[in-house]
Chains A and B, each alone.
Chain A
Amino acid sequence: MAEIRRDEQKLWLILFQIRGVRVRLNSLALQHWIFSTMAFMTGGAALIFGAALMLGPLAFLSATAVIVLFGLAGIIRETRAALRQRVNPLKAAAIADDRGALKGRLTTVLTLAQTPRLSPLWSYLVEDTYSLRNDFEPARIEPRWVSRSIFALLGACLAAALLIPFARMHRAPGVQAGGSGEAGQIVADIGNLEVRPADPALEPNAEVYADPETLRKLEDKLAGAQNQDNDKSELGRWMNKARNLAGGLQNQLTGEKAANHPPVRLKLTDRNPGTDKGGTPSRAQSGKGRDETGKPLANSQGGGGNSSSAHSSQPPVASIPGQQADQLAQNQGTSPQAPGSDTAQPGQGDLQNLFDGGSGGGGSSHGSGSDPRNLFGQASSQPLGSDNFKITIEAEPSDESSTPGAPTYVPPKVRVPLNSNQYPDEPLARAAVPAADQMTIKRVFER
């Protein structure tokens, strides 16, 4: 009887040790799953963040999709591997048999322990197996406490730590433009300027300014591009939505708001004045200028009195000498609008606005026939050069094309040299007219 009890105690110890082996193996399988899954998630997040910093919206969206797919596949694979690594008592005994060179003793003990009719050799087997208990201690069967997958996790963390600063240093130009502290200024010839609908994913942060005629042509070009955009297929709209989504994601990931970016200032010039490539009627002149999203162009030529209010806090962007202003006035006079018309045509200025520092003395106010009563006003802090037009468009230098396969557009750096008779634009300060001179000036205008 005592011998039977001793056998049972030994059997219990053997089974307990098998259970210890199983616990350790399952612990490692669980660790493997946790570490590898975290490694995939960390690495994937780092890659997505890097892509948000370094790539344009569509490339970012594609890269994110690929990374997410690979990450999910990897996680599923590791989950299945962990499930395969999970062991039941029988498998734990088999593994211990194999690693401890026990030649099937543990498997036999485990499977036959509950058998009602035991062999006469059962006691021998239990005793034999018990004598080898040091060979199947959990620590000997599986010395590791921590899964090797932790190295994968550490590697992913290290890669993330290296990748994110690297990505910050090598940001994509389109993304970088908004992030720089200084506002850039680009002078572009309108003839070389490729105009296309703005990427909806990008926040409007570019300001374009030019003389009225150039702006009119620019608006014609914009209208043409808008028409082309309207003709786009369903695929194009989906592409725009994708860009929008990707841009939003990028902004969320990078924590940057394009609205906070200083605008890129693009000064447009026209090398071939008088030629109108667009051929479409200028919506700016009709006062119905709208941007591509349907909103009225804030500082369009026909904007009337509010041309400077939207950007009153901005520093003056340019001014034109009086002679040039006269030339502009002549150009304006050749427009289809009837000179001297008193009808409230948008864009038709009022003589009062000539000296009025209030709202919007635009270039169109230089038309003849204005009321001399409006000639004089108080000197104001209106930004210099407000007689030019400033238009904000939703565009930003980008190395991407809205149309797949279209050539990459790089804004030209055009700076036309001045000839000997030309002088660079200088801001002309608006000043109060002395009372003694006011009558003289008024007479000149009345004449």
Chain B
Amino acid sequence: MSEAEAISATEQPSIADFARTFRRIQAEIHKVIIGHEQAVEELLSALFAGGHVLIEGVPGTGKTTLVKTLGLALNLSFNRIQFTVDLMPADITGTRVIMSSIEGRREFSFQPGPVFCHILLGDEINRATPKTQSALLEAMAELQVTVGGVTYPLTPPYFVMATLNPIEMEGTYPLPEAQLDRFLFKVRLSYPGEDEMVRIIGSTTGPEEAGVQPVFAADEASAQIETLKHLVREVMVAPPLQQYAARMVRATQPENSRILGDLHAPVHVDAVNRYVSFGSSPRGAQALIMGGKIRALLDGRANLSYDDLEQVAPAALEHRIMLNYAAHSDGVDAARVVEQVLKAVRQTRT
């Protein structure tokens, strides 16, 4: 990749620039990651939307490899935390330690934790205790870390990718709702198909490893990514589409919810009332809009459409819906609920 082809951080990129850069990052990642096209697109969408991603997949599906490859392609600083049950919050955020100066004076000095980077991989985040998991909350939401009463800002772009192993539930701690809500998208990685498996074998067992070329220059990567993120926010959204996103989120909330009170959802969805204990928060609507904007830019448009919202709805809403016991006993998952919500809300388009 030629760095000269990268967009300049000083000038306003065009929609075509955004789409081209996005496709190039995708192409670099797919040099290593075989398949998972949708997962990669959602991952990059979350990056440019300024959000974080929760990656759920069984072992061996390339979760860690995907994140590492992304870091290489973006040419950003990258840290990895392997979450274990004995991991402490200070192991993530950093801590103040007593340091001896050259003069022999002893003073507290802040030692930054692995959270201080551009791209953070929290591997198997559900193996840590909720207290440790919550150590990421401030960093993810506010791009800052407070230790010992002192707040330390993080350098944008800041992108957290956490992985979950859905089958090894022994000794794990489900993420609290507040933590889940801070992830813009939840990306599912499934096992590859036979053809993809053959390609994976070919690319990983040979003498040569696929090399990933960074898309951005190291000193301009942050600025260029921030410029592209700013462009995403300029995509125009008509009021009816904002209303559509809000209606979609409201439709995920059961009518008898204590949170909702006397308010009634504008769209009645049987599956929601029967299987959902808590629906999506307003962050879900934000995720819909931001994810939709990315899709609009990739489609060469400066405006959001209904289809954009519906395409990002599963990734934006599924992990925000808390199912009840009836859903578990009936084998209903959040994907099916979101599907029903989309079906119902689609009837109310303007």
- Which residues on A are within 8 Å of B, measured CB to CB? 90-91, 94, 97, 103-105, 107-112, 119-122, 124-125, 128
Contacts and interface: CB of A to CB of B under 8 A. Distances in A.
Contacts, number: 64
Contacts of A94: 240, 349-350
A112 B241 CA distance: 12
Interface of B is mostly: loop
A90 B236 contact: no
A108 B350 contact: no
Contacts of A103: 296, 299, 301, 303, 305, 307-308
B307 A119 contact: no
B12 A125 contact: no
A125 B238 contact: no
B350 A120 contact: no
A351 B349 CA distance: 99
30 contacts: A94-B240, A103-B296, A103-B299, A103-B303, A103-B305, A103-B308, A104-B241, A104-B305, A105-B301, A105-B303, A107-B350, A108-B236, A108-B237, A108-B241, A108-B304, A110-B238, A112-B238, A119-B234, A119-B235, A119-B236, A119-B302, A120-B12, A121-B15, A121-B236, A122-B236, A122-B302, A124-B14, A125-B303, A128-B300, A128-B301
Given A103-B307, A119-B236, A121-B235, A128 B302 contact: yes
Contacts of B237: 108
Nearest to A103: B305
A91 B240 CA distance: 10
Given A120-B234, A121-B234, A121-B236, A104 B350 contact: no
A112 B296 CA distance: 17
A105 B240 CA distance: 12
B239 interface: yes
A292 to B, nearest CB: 64
A151 to B, nearest CB: 28
A21 to B, nearest CB: 14
B301 A90 contact: no
Contacts of B14: 124
B325 interface: no
Interface of B: 12, 14-15, 234-241, 296, 299-308, 349-350
Contact of A111 (B238, B296, B299, B302): B238
B214 to A, nearest CB: 28
Nearest to B301: A103
Nearest 3 A-B pairs (CB), nearest first? Answer: A104-B305, A121-B302, A108-B303
A93 to B, nearest CB: 9
Nearest to B15: A124
A125 B302 contact: yes
Contacts of B302: 119, 121-122, 124-125, 128
Nearest to A125: B302
A109 B305 CA distance: 12
A427 to B, nearest CB: 85
A104 B304 contact: yes
Nearest to B237: A108
A90 B349 CA distance: 12
A153 B97 CA distance: 89
Contacts of B238: 104, 107-108, 110-112
A440 B10 CA distance: 149
Nearest to A94: B350
A105 B304 CA distance: 8
- Residue in B238, B239, B308 with the greatest tally of chain A CB atoms within 10 Å: B238
A104 B236 CA distance: 10
Contacts of A90: 240, 350
A197 B239 CA distance: 74
Contacts of B304: 104, 108
Contacts of A128: 300-302
A124 B12 CA distance: 13
- Residue in A94, A109, A110, A121 with the greatest tally of chain B CB atoms within 10 Å: A121
Nearest to B306: A104
Contacts of A119: 234-236, 302
A91 B14 CA distance: 30
Contacts of B350: 90-91, 94, 107
Nearest to A110: B238
A115 to B, nearest CB: 9
A124 B241 CA distance: 19
B349 A112 contact: no
Given A90-B350, A121-B15, A128-B302, A111 B307 contact: no
Contacts of A111: 238-240
A91 B349 CA distance: 10
A55 to B, nearest CB: 45
A107 B303 CA distance: 9
A105 B236 CA distance: 10
A199 to B, nearest CB: 56
Given A104-B306, A125-B302, 9 more contacts: A94-B350, A107-B240, A108-B236, A110-B238, A112-B236, A120-B234, A121-B235, A122-B236, A125-B301
Contacts of A105: 301, 303
Nearest to A108: B303
A91 to B, nearest CB: 6
A103 B306 CA distance: 7
A234 to B, nearest CB: 50
B290 to A, nearest CB: 15
B181 to A, nearest CB: 27
B292 to A, nearest CB: 10
Nearest to A102: B305
Contacts of B239: 111
B266 to A, nearest CB: 18
Contacts of B300: 128
B297 to A, nearest CB: 9
Contacts of B303: 103-105, 107-109, 125
Nearest to A126: B302
A108 B237 CA distance: 7
- Residue in B296, B300, B302, B305 with the greatest tally of chain A CB atoms within 10 Å: B302
A321 to B, nearest CB: 90
A4 B14 CA distance: 19
A222 to B, nearest CB: 69
Contacts of B307: 103
B118 to A, nearest CB: 26
A125 B237 CA distance: 11
